[in-house]
Amino acid sequence: MATDEKYVWGAGSPLPPIDPHSKIKHKILRDYLETYIKVLMSNVKIPKLHLSLIDGFSGGGLYQDDGIIQDYKGSPYILLESPFNAEIQLNQGRLKERKIHTNTFLVDIEPDNISHLKSALTLDGYSERFEKDIHFYSEDFCSALPKIVQRIKTIKGGERSLFLLDQYAYKDVPMKAIQHIFSSLDKAEVLLTFNIDTLITYISNKAANRKAIENIGLDTYIPWQQIADIKSTNKEDWKPIIQKFFAEGIRKESGARFMTLFFITPKGSNTWSYWFIHLANTHRANDVMKSLHWKHGNLFSHSLSPGIFQLGYDANQDTTVTGQDFLFLGEEHSFEAQTQAKVEAELSEHIPRIIQSSNSGISLEALMCNIANVTMANTDIVRSSLDLAVKTGDIKVINPKTLTQRTKGSAIAAQDVITPAAQKSFYFPISEKDDKS
């Protein structure tokens, strides 16, 4: 986590508190690492995996958690523990062990934070790995980045890397830094915190404001001359309009093929949210992250587009945080049911057009790559949404190796070819209940 006056680690000082909105980021990070490692190692013949894990704003490693005596372990510990846990799970019931080799880079601009982190890790038995596969940088992340990239490139198989850039606001990680990551490392991914509401709340066509956004490399995506008009004519929902420009800019300027946004709203009366952004060049990584957004989300929004829904987490809607039980009037009113219906409607607009326009058919994998940046649906949801069209014969799905035809959506494999049935125009029926919602 980025350094801020709230997050200070020093000798004799109490540990800073951990907030619920930070804990959800940590849950996603931990789940992502363990899940994606298992996906990468899904072929049982792969004997080992090399990973480089970078925490660009590590802090001091430990926090205090209300009501819990034991210290709460932050992101540096997650980067160290998750691969170890995944390796244990991979080797259950095996005689020949498979190995996960990691190099972990921990960066913080505050020397006291790095000193505290080293002390904490030493007490937990990690000191023998210092400067072997655990590396420390007491400096600004952008200054450390070239050295980290160069060191990663010397590690055999180490270019598969995940950068956790949990900056406090939005200014510490300009787009050129993320471009450098993706242009320099073959299999890089980035998890970026971007405090979008803080940024746009006071946005205006003034020199100082434009300069701040120019510094992060997103100024060319903002319709500066239209800002005042957008605010005056859309008094209730002008922020989502501006958010869309920033989202487009981040995706394009990052250099990554795939991006998914997860909004997080902290507990309290301040409803300003921030984005937890995942950037990657492989669809498999994007798909795993979307699955975790479904797992940990408790709210959806259509802030980026009238027809495209976005998942997020609001600490004020989390009963484990608030201690209050919300009354749901049946399953159809639950978060999961509502969101599933919205996504089905979303897919009904996109998928039929793509399949109809494919002359020789399209594979499921290619379809997912095509729609990845315009829907929060993962592969399992898309398979489910295709089920009715497969069963009614509105589309044909052929296994290219055996030339057999699939009979249900859940059976569609990545390389199966999807084509529209001759002389048919299929659609995804939306129930009357959903149509009225």
Q: Which domain holds residue 386?
A: 334-431
CATH number, domain of 372, equals: 1.10.10.10
Residue carrying structure tokens 């301040």: 270
Query: What is residue 4's DSSP assignment?
Result: B
Q: Domain for residue 266, yes or no?
A: yes
DSSP code string of 61-122: SEEEETTEEEEEE-HHHHHHHHHHHHHHHHTTT-SS--EEEEEEEEE-S-HHHHHHHHHHHH
**Assigned token pair, 67:** 């009501």
Residue 309, pLDDT score: 61
Residue type, 340: Q
Q: Which residues of 191-216 are buried (b: 16+ CB within 10 A; e: fewer)?
A: bbbbbbbebbeebeeeeebeebbeeb
Q: Domain for residue 6, yes or no?
A: no
Of the residues 322, 348, 373, the one at which a domain ends: 322
Of the residues 274, 297, 322, the one at which a domain ends: 322
Our count of domains for the chain comes to: 2
Distance, first Cα to last Cα, the chain: 39
pLDDT > 60? residue 3: no
Give yes or no: residues 226 and 109 share one domain.
Answer: yes
Q: What is the pLDDT of residues 198-227, one digit of tens each?
A: 999 889 999 999 999 999 999 999 999 999
Alpha carbons 136 and 105: distance in angstroms, whole number? 6
Pairing of strands 62-65, 68-73: antiparallel
Q: What is the pLDDT of residues 260-294, one digit of tens each?
A: 999 999 988 777 899 999 999 999 999 999 999 98
Q: Are 389 and 412 in contact (CB under 8 A)?
A: no
Of the residues 293, 322, 351, the one at which a domain ends: 322
Q: Domain for residue 277, yes or no?
A: yes
Alpha carbons 216 and 175: distance in angstroms, whole number? 6
pLDDT > 50? residue 232: yes
Residue 326, pLDDT score: 47
CA angle 23, 26, 27 (to 5 degrees): 90
Give yes or no: residues 297 and 403 share one domain.
Answer: no
Residue type, 122: T
CATH number, domain of 147, equals: 3.40.50
Task: Report phi then psi at 52, rounded to 5.
Answer: -110, 125
Give yes or no: residues 346 and 200 share one domain.
Answer: no
- Rounded to the nearest 10°, the torsion over CA 283, 295, 253, 249 is 130
Q: SS3 string of 260-296?
A: EEEEEECCCCCCCCEEEEEEECCHHHHHHHHHHHHHH
Q: What is the pLDDT of residues 319-340, one digit of tens each?
A: 777 665 544 444 334 566 677 7
Query: What is residue 226's DSSP assignment?
Result: G
pLDDT > 60? residue 364: yes
